[in-house]
Structure 1
């Protein structure tokens, strides 16, 4: 895996050199497979839809309640969303070239669960979300850096393939304990399951998904007055090395600071965005709204 200086920047044109590097034009600049690929890709993405805007239809509900004499509360919120004519960012190779296209249908369904409570000086809250974000119709897109792409640099996406950048499971837990009327100690955990990288819309690239991660944070607060609070926070307490997201792109380095070839396509690889290492923060918070309360 490689870590890029920029991720997600989007251009709107493809230079002749880049097309040549990806085998889409001949050395003399004449079209080879480019016209057929674009006609196939754009046709299969847009043909099922007439001109129109993005439309989302959502069905959702929820229940909530409490028990243990009100010391524990809970909530359940299922949902289902169908998006027609969704907008997809398609990277045609490298991190700077791409275009927007409409996908006939995407689906997002899941449920949000929560439970929490308080007793004495202890307050806690746990939340869990299951998110099934998938494509609802088949289409073809250009993804030359995907290892499963055909000779024209296209991949075939089928219904049920997961949307990139959306973890299936998200869990959070927060706990705070009031040591005294002025001092409180707290912590929180955030855990996410794996997610597919941008460019791996068919979920078949050889690099696999970006791994999931879990991060623990701690904080200590001192309430000096109604309005003034001093705090110390430690993020990523265990200094866990993790990645936030990923993108398939060209790596033009075969070793640190050594270029392969500035005119060639490079090597297709998975670029990842690293999470922040352990960090210490000291500060104060002043609430003007509590001055006269």
Structure 2
């Protein structure tokens, strides 16, 4: 362990820390970094990484490493890896991308946290938010079930879920919240249509303009749409909540991957909902 620590320090001093910590297939270097980051305060974010545009156009240069994705505003549960690796995180919510056989070894050794459909911590709502999910999204999509209760099939049933959520977490407040459903699609090829549904729910009485942007790794927009505009009355006791779903290619203009890159989906709504990253995806070269 001490020998590996010296290797890590040398990599930091020579500017090759990211290459050292991210490349090994067995992820042993991540274990070394994880240990010393906890007990001696080593901080991944302190050490600069070679700019992506200076690297060759390989898969590693398209999809940033896990901690870089978090710095770009990505939630833990939305981290993506290349097609040969899986995202995992440990009990301290530190992420990593590993090969399938390495993931099982990390689980057996207690480093990685088992990725479940539902969170397993003592505070499931906070874990949902930390991993980029939301109780409303889970219930509306049918991921949370109570006994034999079927998932909601009508708009009124979905509005009722929102109303109950508003009563519990936003009593008397005006609010709007969003999430994106992608059906597990994070990798697209150049020329593919990027499809997803933007879910919106809340309680607000004024007019608002929904703005959707797709931005690249340098925060430059490659797509913008702010054509959705609504004015609603506020909720009252007994009245179902507001819920809507907008699909890329229908309510929003179609978006097609025109070149390789790593992109993030950003949503804002004036002062009601400031710019927030909700999802990410990568456009890759055809195989």
TM bucket (normalised to shorter chain) is under 0.3
The structure whose residues are more often strand, as a share, is 1
- With normalisation by structure 1, the TM-score equals 0.22
Higher helix share: 2
